[in-house]
Structure 1
Amino acid sequence: MFGKLIAGSLGFMAAGPFGAVLGMYVGHQFDRGLGGFARPVSIAEQARISEAFFETVFSLLGNVAKADGRVSSIEVSQAESLMAKMNLDPIARRRAIDLFKEGSGANFSVDDVMQRFMLVCGRNNNLKQQLLNCLISLGMADGDLHINEQDVLRKVASHLGFSSALFDKFIQMIKAQSQFRGSGSGSAGQSRPSQDQLTDAYQALGVSASNSSGEIKKAYRKLMSQNHPDKLIGQGMPEDMISLATQKTQEIQVAYDLIVKQRKEP
């Protein structure tokens, strides 16, 4: 806000009304950059962010898998499934496996890897949430989160600046979103949704049945924007991991369509 006001005032003094408009636009971009959201990211910075994101995801996946005392065959299969979904080349796949093993080692430090991540990605709030969403989603791939896995992810959330209450809300939302995986956007129109489906749909968007249609649409648009593939690539998220965000947008879309359909019915 201050950047917009200052730049607008300077622009008016320098070039009249046109200068004020131009100045306010520049100031607005400056303000957004300070907010850690939309400052343009250079190609070199994108590469650094992409590497930090990749390293953090796979090493923490190994640590979460080991949190309950042992790395199960199911958890190994989940990691391999992620690598397959990402279409990693042999070199990247080998690196992902090494990071997973490193994360499951006795000397691995969550604090150290998160400090490195925050140095590179800490200014971008959306990427921080994407990291946590990604880890929670993958951690829940076997149906739920073990209490020790939650403890690791809660520590990660703390490093990212998310409160314990917000972390719990993310878990609730992601669990509800997973109920719409593979449903397809057309499935919402096939039959009248059950009460359980509606409850999941509201939770998937982080809202409740008491919210107005306008509030629900706002929450829906925010989630779709946060998970937009082009935006995430521009912010430095590895292109290999964009398929996870694409899957998330599909789940969110199905949940929203279901709510809209139910509210239109008499």
Structure 2
Amino acid sequence: MLWPFTVIGGGAGFAIASIPGAMLGALLGQALDRRLHVQSLAELRERLSGRGVPRDDELIFILLGRLAKSDGRVVDGHIQQARVEMRRLDLSEPATRRAIKAFNRGKDGRDNLRVHLTRMKTQPHAAEGLLRACWRMAWADGKASRTERELIVLWGKWLGWPADKVEGLSSTEDEQRTRTPASRGGEYQDALRLLGVRSDSEPAQIKRAYRRLLSRHHPDKIAGSGASQKQVRDATERTRELHNAYAVIKDTRGFR
């Protein structure tokens, strides 16, 4: 990892006071790198451009905006899918406004996405959720174009995922998209059972049940307790199922 202020401080210190100056400059630069959470020269350039480093809940919508515009034109299906993702994430009003702004930011294509995605390599469950959302956006207009596929595979590579594993997520999301209405009805009942709520439960009650289960099964919490890799994988899958179940119930019931 190339800490930019550490390098700059070390170089400036050496120019001023040889080796002792380099050591002091590097220490001061490292402290600045850690305080500002700057991990590469590319990230420093991104910050100096005035665009700033997006939050995780903003990054996903920057990617979705980039995908929506990748074939030249954003269609209504892309807009609707972005709204679905906002509901799926259960965003607050301020977070929803940030998401809309991030989606529009993504459409201009000026962000150095490699910098932001490389930072997420240590968050495999978050990376999977991000890639799945990208595939859902790619399928939003009924087909995943070659350009969209190439972008998602490239982003997966920056996240540390092999191409075949990234492509495998596409098949899963397309299968869910093309389910028949009858199977969607069964999906709704399955979602209710998974969250332990009834079809007449109040939205607030459903939300509490979802958040309680999400907290209990979150991979970060499991990993922090010294669990095995299999237990963390199982928790990641359980979290994904909870996200999907909550999204199905919200879409069926029509609440946010």
The structure whose RCO (Cα within 8 Å, separation 6+) is larger is: 1
